[in-house]
Structure 1
Amino acid sequence: MLRVVVLGAAAGGGVPQWNCGCPVCRKARSENPEVRSTQASIAVSADNEHWYLVNASPDLRQQLISTPQLYPGAGRLRHSPIAGVILTNGEVDAVAGLLSMREGSPFTLYAHERVLAILRSNSIFNVLGEQDVERCPIAVDVAFEPALPDGSPSGIEILPFAVPGKGAWYLEGKAHPEGGDAAGDTLGLRVLDKTSGRYFYFLAACARMTDDLKSRLSGAALVFFDGTVWRDDELIAQGLGTKTGQSMGHIAMSGEHGAIESLAGLDVGRKMFLHINNSNPALLSGSDERQALEQAGWRIPADGMEITL
């Protein structure tokens, strides 16, 4: 069976964000500490012994300290159950945590060649020495099975697929290290247990819904989906920024073409939002937005939540 641990569900900056005094962040610091969340990442295992991270958030060290499933094995002087890291994009939110994995424990890094090119172009990622961290390219619509440390099959099949989105914001207006088009900049993942046949989807970023995407998600036991903003102009309306959700590559939760309406009626077992920005009022349990979200069958997971499929 697949075990999934939600390491964090927040967008970049987490909740509360260190320099933000918006209503959600103020409440997270005071009367609503349950709203606090680290930046989005999950861990998945088919044997409850070897784990694979999906994205390595800037909060990874804190997440590992808070997650007993990812502790070193009992009696082991130096050990980690993390067998691999799978990246869905090259944003800071997804790759910065790799720098917290530089202490010499071996693992395999799986990413699209466009993301691997970004890592190669920045010498700071050389702290992940090749003798410990193998960098394995993955391709759109080509399934792969991450290996266990001894090279044997993990029992987990990962299918990466292209999702409408944007490249890393820090490369806007600059030449991409890999060149070419944007295919591979934003990936979704289908994660399948090869024994049971059950699977879930992970999409930390998605700019819009398509018929192909709806078709993919239908029938899944679990979907983690981009929940960055409640409404497209949220940051502008709150005076927190000048960009819309769409301009940042994120679909809104609400609205005529939002995630809730677009995925209504699909045969999906459990629907979870993640990568939720601190500006999003749905983070507050008593808000109208949270009630609307839950009435539509969606949930916002807490850090540390474990789900078994």
Structure 2
Amino acid sequence: MTFRAHILGAAAGGGLPQWNCGCANCNLARSGKIPSQTQSSIAVSADGTSWAVLNASPDIRQQLADVPALHPTGLRALPLSSVLVTNGDIDHVAGLLTLREMQPFMLFATQGIHEVLAANPIFDALNAKVVTRETIALETPFTLAPGLTATLFAVPGKVPLYLEGAEVKTDMMGDQTVGVELLTDETRAYYIPGCALMNDDLRQRLKGADMVFFDGTLWQDDEMVRAGLGQKTGKRMGHMSMSGPDGSIAAFVGMDIGRKIYVHMNNTNPVLRPDSAEKAEAEAAGWIIGQDGMEITS
């Protein structure tokens, strides 16, 4: 079987361009000078026939329409076997409301993430008679799609913005922010769209992987502050930056990973500009800058 990963959306929450943002990247995207990107999601398959979507972005209707492999094969037949969400962030769960059209699929998440969904009655629009909510324990392999085994594991992160209290721990370990190991007979891949830091456990887990889709939110930690778009750093938002001594480019050195792909990139990130020095630097370090529509196989 050939492992296939299709990037449905390469951008972080808000997409590119973000509807209310007049930053350089957003204006370039509006004018068609750089590619627009929808919000964070990938689809994966081991056989090219049955697919799983990882994170249901607010843009999922258009994302599914843009990928012929995910088009309906009959009146109400769809090659979508499951949806898995890696945290409760709005850009990863809001698309579930679009999938309310009485279409059967499995909805996989940890107990903590399912509790977040259950606490908001609007998600009851996903009729329990046709959408089965399956709770997955950490470090427990399960079948995500035919021929594709997944395992969820904790990565450093935080609760969604709308659940933050007076004090926020940005590198907590638990079932609120998870990564996904994806295994076929021949491929070991990982999907980690949100990660606050690279710890020893995560480094050991990822070593030698065939491919890793990883959090690329910001180029530098204070990027949004410098741009005049907010007061939060990447660390405060629970995300590693790409650059710097504690960034992901440095963290992945020597890990012997086949392909490293950045996803979940904020609209301010200069790597989204094809001719930027930052994109060239990331690529020189062996990284692929993910884009909507990109398919990577192994």
Q: TM above 0.5, one fold?
A: yes
Structure 1's 31 and 98: CA in aligned 2 closer, same or farther, altered over 3 A?
Answer: closer
Deviation at 1:203, TM superposition (A): 0.3
The answer on whether the counterparts of 1:4 and 1:44 sit within 8 Å (CA) in structure 2 is yes
Please say if 1:295 is aligned against 2:274. Answer: no
Where do 1:160-309 residues align within 5 Å?
160-173=152-165, 183-193=174-184, 195-196=185-186, 198-309=187-298
Supply the AA of the counterpart residue of 1:99. L
Q: 1:157 aligns with which of 136, 149, 161?
A: 149
CA distance, structure 2, for counterparts of residue 241 and residue 119 of structure 1? 28
Contact 2:34/2:273 (8 A) holds in 1: no
Tell me how far 1:286 sits from its aligned partner: 1.2
In the aligned structure 2, how far is the partner of 1:229 from the partner of 1:77? 42
Partner secondary structure for residue 236 of structure 1: helix
Q: SS at 1:85's partner residue?
A: strand
Structure 1 residue runs of 4+, over 2 Å off? none
- Structure 1: stretches of 5+ with no match in the other structure: 148-153, 175-180
Q: Shift of the alpha carbon at 1:33?
A: 3.7
Within-5 A mapping of 1:133-152? 133-146=131-144
Normalised to the residue count of structure 1, the TM-score between the two structures is 0.92
Q: Distance in 1 between matches of 2:239 and 2:289?
A: 17
Within a 5 Å distance, the mapping from 1:116-135 to structure 2 comes to 116-135=114-133
- How big is the shift at 1:146? 2.9
Work out the CA distance in 1 between the residues paired with 2:45 and 2:277. 36
1:79 is displaced (CA, Å) by 1.6
Alignment partners' CA distance in 2, 1:251 and 1:301: 17
Counterpart secondary structure, 1:64: helix
Corresponding residue SS for 2:134: strand
Please list, as runs of the form range in 1=range in 2, the aligned pairs for 1:24-173 lying within 5 A after superposition: 24-34=25-35, 36-73=36-73, 76-146=74-144, 154-173=146-165
Return the offset for 1:31. 4.5
Shift of 1:182: 5.9
Partner SS state of residue 273, structure 1: strand
CA distance in structure 1 between the aligned counterparts of 2:295 and 2:129, rounded to whole angstroms:
32
| Displacement after TM superposition at 1:307 (Å) | 1.4
Question: Which whole-Å CA distance do the structure 2 matches of 1:171 and 1:31 have between them?
Answer: 36
Contact kept, 8 Å, 1:205 with 1:225, in 2: the verdict is yes
RMSD of aligned alpha carbons? 1.4
- Indicate the SS of the match to 1:161: strand
Q: Distance in 2 between matches of 1:266 and 1:62?
A: 36
Number of matched pairs: 293
TM-score, with structure 2 as normaliser: 0.96
SS in 1 for 2:236: helix
Residue-by-residue CA offset, 1:109-145 (whole Å, 9 max, x unaligned)? 0000011111111111011011110000011111111
